[in-house]
Structure 1
Amino acid sequence: MDRLRNAVRPYAWGSVTAIPALLGQAPTGEPQAELWMGAHPGDPSWIDRGDGPRSLADVIAADPRAELGAAAVAKFGTELPFLFKVLAAGLPLSLQAHPTLDQARAGFADEEARGVPLDAPHRNYRDANHKPELICALDEFEGLCGFRAPAATADLMASLGVPALDPLIDVLRAKPESEALREVLATVLSMTGPEAEHTVSEVARALTAAAPGDPTGALAGYAFAAAEHPGDTGLLAALLLNHVVLRPGEALYLGAGVPHAYLRGTGVEIMANSDNVLRCGLTPKHVDVPELLRVVDFEAAAPQVLRPEADAAGERLYPVPIDEFRISRYEPADRPVELPGGAPQILLCTEGTAFLSAADGTGLTLARGESAFLPAGGGPVGLRGAGATVFRATVTL
């Protein structure tokens, strides 16, 4: 068992207080957006096995079979296939979607062949992997996820009383679902100039005025995004999406092609080990509209809020349709529960104090905000701790 020393990413949208509170530290006054746990080359965790600190990426690279297990190496390769995070949003993130595995491989190969630098601001594909992800709320978490039914979005837009939206409303009401969503998204992301700025300003004003009377909180969510991104036509794209609020312990799984944006709140996030993002707006960063339209899945669907499925051993599993990550939650008592070995695992304590014990008598104590890496070859580990909450990230073999 290895205690992890993890990096905090200070993106501008991050909360000033949430991650320091989790770690028991005083706020620095600067935003702290993501706490990374894993072996992503951008900011790997660090461990110390008595011979000095080493990055988890280097430790795994030195002996992948010992750290990940032969079965995981055979299935996923020689790198940890997931990235585990605490995400703390104080301001809205960009509206975005992620490619399928085939799209990522093709897009990465194309940009490599054209010599687009990996750090170029207009680069779409930073690697050849897909990026399915799951967010589980630690406190009330607000976001946008997936397309709302076009007729319902037409009604919402009509309620705002902004004449410039009438052509979009007509498309949403007259055309088949996927065609209507594609045409409206392409239209709003291609809008430029004073007319676009005026439309966005009028919509923002209407949202702000109507929000106090909306019992769902959706209009307040859109107004919050508008206030933080004035003049961004991504606001009109955001109106196409479902508004969702997660209670603590609830989660959302986001597969390829699903447009989404996180607005505010703190959650545990896990994803395939990728950095491929196609942005749709609410950002000053590059938006490649043709590539985005190729990747997005233009199907309306209500968000499927996940609640964990508990088993007899005390594991509360969040079911997902992919194997690169498997995430569950434990709330152990004084009687230990056994965590099986044979696969790489990262444990994160989010409440109380957790005690880990191995068959050889070694142990590790995790306070709130602390995490540990359990290599595949370490065998089963006991977990106990009345009042503790522990998230377990691993893979499905």
Structure 2
Amino acid sequence: MKLLEGVVRPYAWGSRTSIATIRGLPTPSPHPEAELWFGAHPAGPSTCVDGSGQATTLLAEIDAHPTDALGESAVGEFGPRLPFLLKILAANEALSLQAHPSAEQAAEGYARENALGLAADAPERNYRDGWHKPEVIVAVTEFDALAGFRDPRQTVDLLRELQVAELDPYLGMLAGQPDSNGLRALFTTWITLPEAVIATLVPAVLDAAVGVLAAGDCEFRAELQTLLELGEAYPRDPGVLAALLLNRIHLEPGEALFLSAGNLHAYLQGTGVEIMANSDNVLRGGLTPKHIDVPELLRVLDFTPVSRDDLSPAVRTVNAERIYLTPAREFRLSRIELDGTGLHHASSISFDMPGPQILAVLRGIVEVRSATGGPTTVRAGQAIWISDDDPDVVVRAASAKVTFFRALVPVPHHARG
């Protein structure tokens, strides 16, 4: 059991206040802080500190004794690597439209690009490893996202509401085939439009959105406001049009999205806790100056229409623990609230599940104690690493209000002994 210090990733879309506030640091921060990583990713492994103050990286800790750290079951399935990455994500601007491959697509694509001799850091490389990348985002603040292709009939209603003559040919494509095939045809057409066409079509759509919003009540107000924001930031990007095809989702704190392979999505704004399979495979679809491989993106995308309910993971509550259930084998995420006064929530909770675990504190202070040692104090913005060979722990609230997240590898029942 060791204290973890996260690694800040200073991407341009990040916030200058959110992560710093959680960590109790002055705001605004000198640079945007987009993500705070807790894990053993080679590009940013957390620092772990033992009770005597000795520090190393979590990556080195796992590499030195993988079975002790991860357990036989996790090593047998995923190899000697932590199969998940836990993050605090703080978006002040929209991220790129993106999707992730399935396990089979990732393995095939990685092997194919290796055979072509592409350098690991080549900008045109799509597959930087052989793993898939399912992910869950749980809102900490109000959180907005685009995710999944919405019901095409609703999209037809949205496009008709705009009343843009230049959109009529594209509207007809979807109205005549309001299914996954129509979505594929329209998305493919938009993503491959010549820049000269984009330069006239996007402004016409944005002008129409302004008019619809100014006219008063509109069923698609949130969608059109997002369209205007994206159009201002990326006026010549076909991803602005593609955003019209996706569900525009608003999450309240504690609500979550599960994004499986092939789901086109973009986080728009807000702070959340994200957990994902430990992979760097991203196929971008717009709202970015980075490389977009359209043929490969189209191979990966799932155009099956989905609703918000389809993307919301089931939730099981066990005492103070709110568990977000997904089919991902690499991770399980849960949210725990404790109350040091004992008035509104339990003041402590015990954990005994085998396998590696990370507990990341978002609010307040906890003390984590095992049967073999004294308590470790973990403050907001810090985390604690619990390896497979550590004894069971008890987490106690050391402040009035505590919120922390628990990430683990869901060991199959037959492997628990």
TM bin, normalised by shorter chain, reads: over 0.9
Superposition map of 1:236-385 within 5 A: 236-304=241-309, 305-306=312-313, 308-311=315-318, 313-334=319-340, 335-385=347-397
Asked whether 1:395 is paired with 2:409, we answer yes
CA offsets 1:64-98 (integer angstroms, 9 cap, x no match)? 01111122212221100000001100000001111
CA offsets 1:322-348 (integer angstroms, 9 cap, x no match)? 110000011124442111142111111
TM-score normalised by the chain length of structure 1:
0.96
Q: Distance in 2 between matches of 1:39 and 1:379?
A: 21
Does the 8 Å CA contact 2:153/2:178 hold for their aligned counterparts?
Answer: no
- The Cα shift of 1:198 comes to 1.0
Letter in 1 for 2:207: R
Asked whether 1:76 is paired with 2:78, we answer yes
What 5-or-longer segments of structure 2 have no aligned partner? 341-346, 412-417
- The Cα shift of 1:141 comes to 0.2
Match of 1:140 in 2: 142
TM-score normalised by the chain length of structure 2:
0.92
Q: Would the alpha carbon gap of residues 289 and 343 (structure 1) be closer, same or farther in structure 2, given more than 3 Å must change?
A: same
Q: Distance in 2 between matches of 1:154 and 1:176?
A: 8
Q: Distance in 2 between matches of 1:18 and 1:77?
A: 35
Does the 8 Å CA contact 1:341/1:379 hold for their aligned counterparts?
Answer: no
Does the 8 Å CA contact 1:140/1:248 hold for their aligned counterparts?
Answer: yes
Does the 8 Å CA contact 1:91/1:228 hold for their aligned counterparts?
Answer: no
Letter in 2 for 1:124: N
Does the 8 Å CA contact 1:132/1:272 hold for their aligned counterparts?
Answer: yes
Which range moved further: 385-394 or 127-136? Answer: 385-394
Match of 1:24 in 2: 24
Match of 2:49 in 1: 48
Q: Distance in 2 between matches of 1:191 and 1:140?
A: 34
Q: Superposition RMSD on alpha carbons, in Å?
A: 1.5
Q: Would the alpha carbon gap of residues 131 and 164 (structure 1) be closer, same or farther in structure 2, given more than 3 Å must change?
A: same
Which range moved further: 134-143 or 144-153? Answer: 144-153
Q: Distance in 2 between matches of 1:396 and 1:211?
A: 47
- The Cα shift of 1:158 comes to 1.7
Q: Distance in 1 between matches of 2:123 and 2:210?
A: 33
Superposition map of 1:158-197 within 5 A: 158-175=160-177, 177-197=179-199
Identity of aligned residues (%): 45
- The Cα shift of 1:306 comes to 3.8
Letter in 2 for 1:155: D
Letter in 2 for 1:296: L
Q: Which consecutive aligned stretches of 4+ in structure 1 deviate over 6 angstroms post-superposition?
A: none
Q: Secondary structure at the match of 1:110?
A: helix
Which range moved further: 265-274 or 363-372? Answer: 363-372
Q: How many residues align?
A: 396
Match of 2:343 in 1: none
- The Cα shift of 1:206 comes to 2.5
CA offsets 1:21-61 (integer angstroms, 9 cap, x no match)? 11111222421101111000011101133474211111101
